[in-house]
DNA sequence: CCTGCGAATCAATGTAGAAC
DNA sequence: GTTCTACATTGATTCGCAGG
């Protein structure tokens, strides 16, 4: 395999003037890595080389104290952390661009977690048709910023799934590739603009479009609203108040959001991951810019998206999916069981919890949607039990009365007790509050 | 360019205890 | 006895660096 390396023409870093970020109404602004690629083309050098020189303000790598990232982690330049901040500062220092942060997600640094877990695609995602259209128009290809988050899987213009592998060598493309051309594979040189585009599942199309739109909306409106986790927490509290009278559990059940995550965000001021944040925005059918914005929102449970069909965040946790399915099957089975099982074997639900070795709350957190049915079944069982008690008491009284009649004795309380066929509570009125009835006499 | 490791931190679990 | 909240703790994932 041949390797090639590009070196800049001069030794001095050119000052970058006359460049402005690409943008369009339909796709928003360009990402910072895409912009650096074009600057690299202007300097005839590799994008990552230019990035290093830009950060250090030096082509020769003499300055050792600059923070440089690995080229395989170049998505960080578009993110919301330290790498993005230093890149923006360097670019503003070395060029006539005054607001480079619009090409990154720094505007939501106060909202999402600083580690930016599950935030940006590690490998570059692109739409072949968009690339082809730019090329046909005689413009350099560019990556809109809204393609970067992991929640964006679709091109808003062509409604086709974004691509992430070279169609020829199947390799992942980096955000800062080896060569300053975004539309050619950095390993085999294959034309990425000519790849065939596919549209995903029809039932997921709306959700994919919603999520991509959410990201674009956020990028476009970054100047107008400052998003913060405090606001996010406040908005969640408001939604809880409006939809379920402030009961977290019920709100969580309604929307399918995990109760404990909800509480972590509201009480501990934990920052949500981006994918969780936009998932909640989707479920509440609220633009993300407003869900973490400063003004009060009116939430309408009638338009909620209760079911999210895309798995956004990787499971952090503990109970494997199959185990939860098993748990659910066992519970549904029990719910279908005849009422006798519930009346005479009360320990059944807790025995399921014991069998799966989980607490009451883990059980509820996973099977919250069945909680209503379980409560109803419990109520039904207790009613049934009450009826059984009444019927039993009647039966005992009748037997005692028959016995006394056979012995030609008065069915008085004293004789009834003597017969040994009734319980004391059957004939002595239990002292309760007002309205209580005494012994059964009819 | 790859791998391993520790720090950091969000997500999820279990437990105590209060309200009803 | 059931349901709910608060909180400590455990688990998972990512970052960022060092070294090969």
Class (C level, CATH) for A225-316: mainly alpha
Q: Which of A291, A277, A274 is nearest to A239 (CA)?
A: A291
Instruction: Write out the H or E segment, with its range, that includes residue A30.
Output: none
Q: Which of A214, A216, A232, A164 is nearest to A31 (CA)?
A: A216
DSSP, residue by residue, A127-141 = -HHHHHHHHHTT---
Q: Counting runs of H as helices and runs of E as strands, what totals does chain A give?
A: 17, 2
Q: Within a 10 A sphere around the Cβ of A406, how many other Cβ atoms?
A: 8
How far in angstroms lies nucleotide B4's C1' from the CA of residue A149? 27
CA A371 from chain centre, in angstroms, equals: 22
The residues pairing with A144 across neighbouring beta strands, listed in sequence order, are A30
Does the CB of A113 fall within 7 Å of any strand B atom? yes
CA closest to C1' of C13 belongs to A117
What separation in angstroms does the CA of A332 have from each of A155, A264, A337, A340, A411? Answer: 41, 30, 9, 16, 49
pLDDT of residue A311: 60
Give φ, ψ of A408 to 5 degrees: 55, 45
pLDDT in tens, chain A (442 residues): 344 444 454 545 556 667 888 999 999 999 988 888 888 888 777 887 788 777 776 666 555 445 567 777 788 888 887 778 888 888 888 788 888 888 888 888 888 877 777 788 888 889 999 999 999 998 889 999 999 888 888 999 999 988 888 888 888 888 888 888 888 888 888 898 887 777 777 778 888 899 899 999 988 988 777 788 888 888 888 888 787 777 777 777 777 777 777 877 877 667 888 888 888 888 888 888 888 888 888 888 788 887 766 665 555 556 766 777 788 888 888 888 777 777 765 557 777 887 777 878 888 877 877 777 888 888 787 777 777 777 777 787 888 888 888 888 777 777 877 777 777 667 665 544 433 343 433 3
Domain boundaries, chain A: 1-224, 225-316, 324-442
Q: Within a 10 A sphere around the Cβ of A298, how many other Cβ atoms?
A: 8
- d(Cα A137, Cα A139) in Å, to the nearest integer? 6
Q: Within a 10 A sphere around the Cβ of A164, how many other Cβ atoms?
A: 15
Per-state percent for chain A, helix, strand, coil, to nearest 5: 50, 5, 45
Burial class (CB in 10 A: 0-12, 13-18, 19+), A13: middle
DSSP, residue by residue, A237-262 = HHHHHHHHTT-HHHHHHHHT--HHHH
How far in angstroms lies nucleotide B15's C1' from the CA of residue A255? 26
Burial class (CB in 10 A: 0-12, 13-18, 19+), A125: buried
How far in angstroms lies nucleotide C3's C1' from the CA of residue A237? 20
How far in angstroms lies nucleotide C11's C1' from the CA of residue A280? 23
- d(Cα A354, Cα A347) in Å, to the nearest integer? 10
Strand C nucleotides below 7 A of a protein CB? 2-8, 11-17
CA closest to C1' of C17 belongs to A69
- d(Cα A339, Cα A378) in Å, to the nearest integer? 9
DSSP class of residue A173 equals P
Structural tokens at position A273: 């991951």
Give φ, ψ of A165 to 5 degrees: -125, 145
The residues pairing with A30 across neighbouring beta strands, listed in sequence order, are A144
């Amino acid at each position: 395999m041949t390797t090639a390396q590009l070196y800049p023409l001069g030794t001095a870093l050119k000052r970058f003037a006359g460049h402005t970020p690409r943008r369009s109404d339909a796709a928003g602004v360009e990402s910072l890595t895409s912009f650096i690629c074009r600057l690299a083309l202007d300097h005839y050098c590799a994008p990552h080389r230019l990035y290093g020189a830009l950060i250090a303000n030096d082509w020769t790598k003499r300055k050792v104290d600059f923070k440089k990232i690995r080229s395989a982690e170049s998505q960080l330049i578009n993110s919301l952390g330290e790498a993005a901040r230093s890149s923006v500062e360097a670019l503003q220092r070395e060029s006539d661009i005054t607001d480079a942060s619009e090409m990154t997600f720094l505007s939501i640094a106060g909202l999402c977690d600083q580690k930016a877990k599950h935030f940006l695609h590690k490998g570059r995602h692109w739409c072949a048709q968009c690339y082809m259209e730019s090329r046909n128009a005689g413009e350099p290809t560019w990556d809109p910023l809204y393609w970067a988050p992991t929640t964006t899987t679709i091109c808003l213009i062509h409604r086709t799934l974004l691509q992430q592998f070279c169609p020829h060598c199947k390799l992942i493309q980096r955000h800062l590739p080896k060569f300053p051309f975004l539309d050619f594979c950095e390993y085999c040189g294959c034309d990425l603009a000519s790849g065939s585009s596919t549209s995903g599942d029809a039932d997921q199309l709306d959700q994919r479009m919603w999520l991509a739109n959410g990201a674009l909306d956020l990028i476009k409106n970054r100047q107008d609203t400052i998003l913060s986790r405090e606001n996010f927490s406040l908005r969640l509290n408001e939604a809880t108040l409006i939809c379920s009278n402030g009961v977290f559990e019920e709100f969580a059940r309604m929307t399918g959001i995990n109760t404990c995550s909800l509480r972590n965000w509201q009480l501990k001021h934990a920052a949500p991951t981006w994918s969780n944040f936009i998932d909640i925005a989707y479920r509440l059918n609220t633009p993300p810019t407003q869900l973490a914005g400063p003004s009060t929102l009116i939430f309408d449970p009638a338009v909620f998206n209760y079911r999210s069909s895309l798995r956004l965040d990787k499971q952090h946790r503990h109970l494997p999916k199959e185990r939860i399915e098993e748990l659910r099957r066992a519970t549904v089975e029990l719910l279908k069981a005849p009422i006798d099982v519930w009346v005479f074997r009360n320990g059944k639900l807790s025995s399921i919890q014991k069998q799966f070795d989980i607490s009451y709350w883990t059980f509820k957190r996973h099977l919250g949607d069945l909680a209503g049915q379980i409560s109803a079944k419990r109520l039904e069982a207790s009613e049934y039990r009450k009826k059984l008690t009444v019927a039993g008491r009647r039966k005992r009284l009748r037997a005692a009365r028959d016995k006394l009649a056979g012995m030609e004795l008065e069915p008085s309380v004293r004789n009834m007790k003597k017969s040994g066929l009734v319980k004391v509570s059957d004939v002595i009125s239990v002292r309760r509050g007002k309205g209580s009835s005494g012994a059964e006499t009819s």
